[in-house]
Amino acid sequence: MINYKHLYYFREVAATGSISRACESLKLTPQTISGQLQLLEESLGVKLFRKQGRNLELTDAGHTARRYADEIFQLGSALEQALQNHPSGQERLFRVGIVDVVPKTIAYKLLEPAMLLNPPIHIVCNEGPLQDLLGELAMHRIELVIADKPLPNTMPIKGFSHRLGFSGISFFAHAKVAAQLRGKFPQSLNNAPLLIPSEGTSVRNELMNWFHQQKVQPKIIGEFDDSALMRAFGFGGAGIFIAPSVQEGTFTQEVDIQCIGRADGVMEQFFAISVERRISHPAVLAITKSAQDWLQTSGLITGRNLP
């Protein structure tokens, strides 16, 4: 097994280029460092340095060893920092991944029950694409993924999808955009500037089918992976944007933001993906129970023209 103290001395000599300069930073004698380097070379079975004048030069094996040594000690520093920021013994750590297309306000509403547990938990949230977060889940780096679709059958990951519920889809617009619309909803969407989730999201395909059924053709001017970024463009008046109907009350409280209609029959679903078939983690239990109650009472799915 590698002696990491010897490896640390090797890394310092490699960085400074000589034993004498390494002695100054390590506060050790040249004899001590030379002896430790010799022991490291013997244990690894390779020469790590060769003399180059008064300095030492890394061999090919030495360059390889230094790359690994740098990574090892960087990980050590990261470990120290992680433990310093670790929650106290009174708090249970709960790590959750949120797929970037899930609206942030909905993510908060879904996770809120976990924050109210007693004893309290310490929550760590990561955001990213579904595929990346499922990789983290498979490595047990997170306990749960909040997503807009179930675990794909094509993913070589053992996991289970727990359906949290669904919401209808509503269309929103800044007052200056809404004032330019002509006709009743949904015909008013014809040639209207539209901001929409990127291809590959579950709701995108449903919306495109709905547009075809309604015989309307909006002008798609922006596609977004991140729902918060799409909302920022919409709030700025760039175009009509969509969001789950459960957010109507929140969005219409904003100055100049109007809900112009709902997509009849189009639903955005939400799932909790875990490695457990039967949920046992108290935070996940709280999330699934509360989410199903909330979305069942708030997930509007009827479509109509709104005043």
**What is the chain's pLDDT, residue by residue, as a tens digit (307 residues)?**
789 999 999 999 999 988 999 898 888 899 999 999 999 999 999 999 998 888 889 999 999 999 999 989 888 887 776 666 655 555 678 899 999 889 888 899 899 998 888 888 888 999 999 989 998 888 888 889 999 999 988 877 888 898 888 889 999 999 999 999 999 999 999 999 999 998 878 889 899 999 999 999 999 999 998 888 999 999 999 999 999 998 898 899 999 999 999 998 898 889 999 987 777 778 888 888 888 777 665 544 433 333 3
Average pLDDT, the chain: 87
Place of tokens 């000690």: 73
Please give the model's pTM, rounded to 2 decimal places: 0.63
H or E element, residue 171? strand 160-174
User: What is the signed CA dihedral for 252, 130, 271, 138, rounded to 10 degrees?
Assistant: -150
DSSP readout, 95-153?
EEEEETTS-HHHHHHHHHHHHT-SS-EEEEEEEE-HHHHHHHHHTTS-SEEEESSPPPT
* C-alpha to C-alpha distance for 76 and 80, rounded to whole angstroms: 6
Q: Which residues contact 111 (CB under 8 A, 6 or more apart)?
A: 96, 123, 125, 146, 287
CB 165 within 8 A of CB 270: yes
Tens of pLDDT, residues 218-236:
999 999 988 889 999 999 9
| Percent of the chain's residues with pLDDT above 70 | 92
